[in-house]
Amino acid sequence: MIEELVKLKPVYYEFNLYWGKMLKLYHHGSSVCAAKVRMYLSEKKLDWKGHYIDILAGEQFDPEYIKLNPKAVVPTLEHNGEIICDSTIICEYLEDTFKEFPIRPTNPVEHSRVLYWTKAVDEALHPACGFITYLACHRHIVSRLGSDKVKAFLESTPTMSVTADWHETKKSIVRKGMKAKGAHAKLRLYDHYLKNMEDNLEKNNWLAGDSFTFADIAMTPYINRLEMLSMSGMWTGGRMPRVENWFKKIKKRPSFKPALVDWLPDDLAEDMRNFGFESWPEFAKLLEIEI
Ligand SMILES: N[C@@H](CCC(=O)N[C@@H](CS)C(=O)NCC(=O)O)C(=O)O
């Protein structure tokens, strides 16, 4: 009997260690920020459990969730009783906490390039992506809630949310569609970062140097988003061949499917493809892309 218990002891300890360390991610299938964290988790080969928040049905406005994430956005990470918000901060936390399978470059120059990309994403590209996604697709999905629920949905969005003015911006896109102020500028900004990638990939195999880093993880959901919206014409057809090649390499990584594809419900994937496809001619015209 004692021998049996001695044999079981390591299993018991491992079990406790496992649950004590368990990572819980509040996330959504189409969210670019959540996909970034899922890809980071997958690259670091970390186990996690998910709590799905449907941000197109307004589940992010549940007062219990807002206690965790006051901006009412996904993702949120829960680990060892601590709550961590903001996707870039979550990834940095994972890197600092779990030393195995390091992603952060030790070379300071390469690390500075990683910071350039994560900063660009957080400050500029993500707000542009939120705008473009709502304009091309999500406004149509949200409109299906019916006028009363749409009103409540828009009113529930905190002022400080995806961006510092997301409450008004989201309202304006849902109400005015393509006439919402700022669409052209946001699309050009998105395109600017694609061109920036194309230039950087001339010197290096990956965005920060010769190795795959957080810079590549940070950009992956934003390129994938355009593809989900049937807008890969922004880099294909010879427009940005290095971005095209980079994305092919990204798709071959084992982390791509579980992080970027598997969590996206089929009906949402179809809506994004179809609504995006309908918007593409107008967007292509703004960018002077011939189709
Ligand atoms: N800075 C945050 C931004 C998170 C964010 O904007 N999340 C979006 C999805 S990608 C969201 O939850 N939107 C909810 C809404 O639009 O109401 C991060 O990096 O995590």
Three-class SS of the chain = CHHHHHHHHHHHHHHHHHHHHCEEEEECCCCHHHHHHHHHHHHCCCCEEEEECCCCCCHHHCHHHHHHCCCCCCCEEEECCEEEECHHHHHHHHHHHCCCCCCCCCCHHHHHHHHHHHHHHHHHHHHHHHHHHHHHHHHHHHHCCCHHHHHHHHHHCCCCCCCCCHHHHHHHHHHHHHHCCCHHHHHHHHHHHHHHHHHHHHHCCECCECCCCHHHHHHHHHHHHHHHCCCHHHCCCCCCHHHHHHHHHHHCCCCHHHHHHCCCCHHHHHHHHHHHHHHHHHHHHHCCCCC
Compute, in angstroms, the gap from residue 74 CA to the centroid of ligand 1.
Answer: 5
Cβ-Cβ contacts under 8 Å for 234 (sequence gap 6 or more): 190, 191, 194, 226, 240, 287, 289
- The verdict on 88 and 163 lying in the same domain is no
Phi/psi class of residue 268: alpha, beta or left (left: φ > 0; alpha: ψ in -120 to 50)? Answer: alpha
Compute, in angstroms, the gap from residue 13 CA to the centroid of ligand 1.
Answer: 37
> What is the value of pTM for the model shown?
0.93
Residue 204, class by beta-carbon neighbours within 10 Å (0-12 exposed, 13-18 middle, 19+ buried)? middle
Establish if 149 belongs to a structural domain. Answer: yes
Question: CA 80 to CA 78: how far, in whole Å?
Answer: 7
Query: Which residues partner with 76 through β-bridges?
Result: 26, 85
Domain CATH code at residue 130: 1.20.1050.10
Cβ atoms 142, 150 nearer than 8 A: yes
- The verdict on 248 and 121 lying in the same domain is yes
Which of the listed residues 66, 97, 128 is the one where a domain comes to its end?
97
Residue with tokens 């419900």: 265
Establish if 202 belongs to a structural domain. Answer: yes
Question: CA 128 to CA 106: how far, in whole Å?
Answer: 31
- The verdict on 129 and 236 lying in the same domain is yes
How many domains does the chain fold into? 2
Establish if 78 belongs to a structural domain. Answer: yes
- The verdict on 141 and 272 lying in the same domain is yes
Ligand 1 touching residue 118 (CB < 6 A): no
- The verdict on 226 and 252 lying in the same domain is yes
Minimal-distance CA residue to ligand 1 atom 14: 73
Q: What is the pLDDT of residue 7?
A: 57
Structural domain harbouring 248:
108-286
Which of the listed residues 97, 130, 147 is the one where a domain comes to its end?
97
Question: CA 87 to CA 139: how far, in whole Å?
Answer: 24
- The verdict on 236 and 187 lying in the same domain is yes
- The verdict on 77 and 168 lying in the same domain is no
Question: CA 25 to CA 53: how far, in whole Å?
Answer: 10
Ligand 1 touching residue 135 (CB < 6 A): no
Cβ atoms 237, 107 nearer than 8 A: no
Compute, in angstroms, the gap from residue 75 CA to the centroid of ligand 1.
Answer: 7
Which of the listed residues 65, 97, 129 is the one where a domain comes to its end?
97
Minimal-distance CA residue to ligand 1 atom 1: 86
**Closest ligand 1 atom, CA of 33?**
10
Cβ atoms 187, 127 nearer than 8 A: no
- The verdict on 137 and 224 lying in the same domain is yes
Question: CA 264 to CA 89: how far, in whole Å?
Answer: 23
- Beta strands across the sheet bearing 82-85: 48-52, 23-27, 76-79, 82-85
Ligand 1 touching residue 87 (CB < 6 A): yes
Establish if 291 belongs to a structural domain. Answer: no
Ligand 1 touching residue 33 (CB < 6 A): yes
Establish if 102 belongs to a structural domain. Answer: no
Establish if 166 belongs to a structural domain. Answer: yes
Q: What is the pLDDT of residue 10?
A: 52
Residues in the chain: 291
> Average pLDDT of each block of 10 consecutive residues along the chain (291 residues)?
53 49 93 98 97 97 97 97 97 98 97 98 97 97 95 93 93 94 94 97 96 98 98 98 98 98 97 98 95 89
Compute, in angstroms, the gap from residue 35 CA to the centroid of ligand 1.
Answer: 11
Domain CATH code at residue 91: 3.40.30.10
Establish if 9 belongs to a structural domain. Answer: yes
- The verdict on 282 and 227 lying in the same domain is yes
- The verdict on 89 and 134 lying in the same domain is no
Minimal-distance CA residue to ligand 1 atom 20: 86
Ligand 1 touching residue 133 (CB < 6 A): no
- The verdict on 152 and 82 lying in the same domain is no
- The verdict on 90 and 127 lying in the same domain is no
Question: CA 128 to CA 121: how far, in whole Å?
Answer: 9
Minimal-distance CA residue to ligand 1 atom 13: 73
Residue with tokens 């707000």: 127
Establish if 103 belongs to a structural domain. Answer: no
Mutate to test the pocket of ligand 1, among 33, 60, 150, 268 (most ligand atoms within 8 A of CB): 33
Compute, in angstroms, the gap from residue 33 CA to the centroid of ligand 1.
Answer: 6
Ligand 1 touching residue 125 (CB < 6 A): no
Ligand 1 touching residue 86 (CB < 6 A): yes
